[in-house]
Amino acid sequence: LFPESITTEQQSLVLVKRLLAISVSCITYMRGLFPESSYGTRYLDDLCLKILREDKSCLGSLQIVKWIQGCFDALEKQYVSVFFHFLMEFTEMYQFKFKYKKKVPQMDISSNQGEFVAGRCSKDVKQASRLLLRTLYLLMQDLGPLPNDITLSMKLLYYNDVTPKEYQPPGFKEDGSPGDLLFAGDPVNLKVGSVSTNFHFMKVRVTTEKKRVRKTDSNLIQKNGPTEISHQGLDCEEEEEEETTKV
């Protein structure tokens, strides 16, 4: 699943792509969106991973695969800053945030008890990746069931200072809706985890209604997290990104 070593930018890119694909696959599988035939099976230690594949008998899963491939294009060009995955008109939102390191990384992300933070060692990066996926799987098991009739959509936000105005990755089109998106209901933000290599930083967060969360570890809850989603890109630093408590 992961490169044997993660010492080059290309190996780091492969890792981030696979983490994104596996995470989105996990979400769609654990939320029961597509039939079993839309998934292949891989193992990470003792964790059984269901990974989306191009199932021509299921148009919905085909569309998700195309969206993920479009995000890969934006990752390769270092344009995408955030990948949003919405269920039911923002009743559940999955946020993947990406940063690209221009030089050898200067930051060491601190962690609390619920989040392992990777250093520069390939072994540590893989350990952080495993923990992120395990946490996501456990969280998916904890969320309450979805209604039968749901809507799924995806959105990319870009770093405006480097992204051409006309750029749209395969499978995406410009969003003409103005202003910010406000999350519905009484939301809670859940920190899934982050992975940092010498070249990329990827962070995963889930936002959902409080009533859908049954018994989540309190360490995952991000207090006072934002519930508004900007359309404007993320050129400026977001202070909640470096919000982890130092130990």
Mean pLDDT by 10 residues, the chain (247 residues): 87 95 95 93 89 90 94 96 83 92 52 43 89 92 82 90 93 76 74 93 90 67 50 38 33
For residues 63 and 136, the answer to whether their CB atoms sit within 8 Å is no
pLDDT at 107: 42
Q: What are phi and psi of 42, to 5 degrees?
A: -135, 160
Q: What whole-number distance in Å separates Cα of residue 2 and Cα of residue 77? A: 21
SS3 assignment, position 211: helix
pLDDT at 184: 61
pLDDT at 182: 65
pLDDT at 3: 83
Which helix (H) or strand (E) segment is 53 a member of? none
Task: Output the CA–CA distances (angstroms, integers) from residue 193 to 89, 204, 220, 244, in the order listed.
Answer: 24, 6, 9, 10
pLDDT at 183: 65
pLDDT at 109: 41
pLDDT at 123: 86
For residues 38 and 32, the answer to whether their CB atoms sit within 8 Å is no
CA dihedral sign, ordered 24, 25, 27, 33: positive
pLDDT at 56: 87
> What's 92-103 look like in SS3?
EEEEEEEEECCC
* Domains with residue ranges and CATH for the chain: 9-230 (3.30.900.10)
pLDDT at 197: 93
- The whole-model pTM stands at 0.81
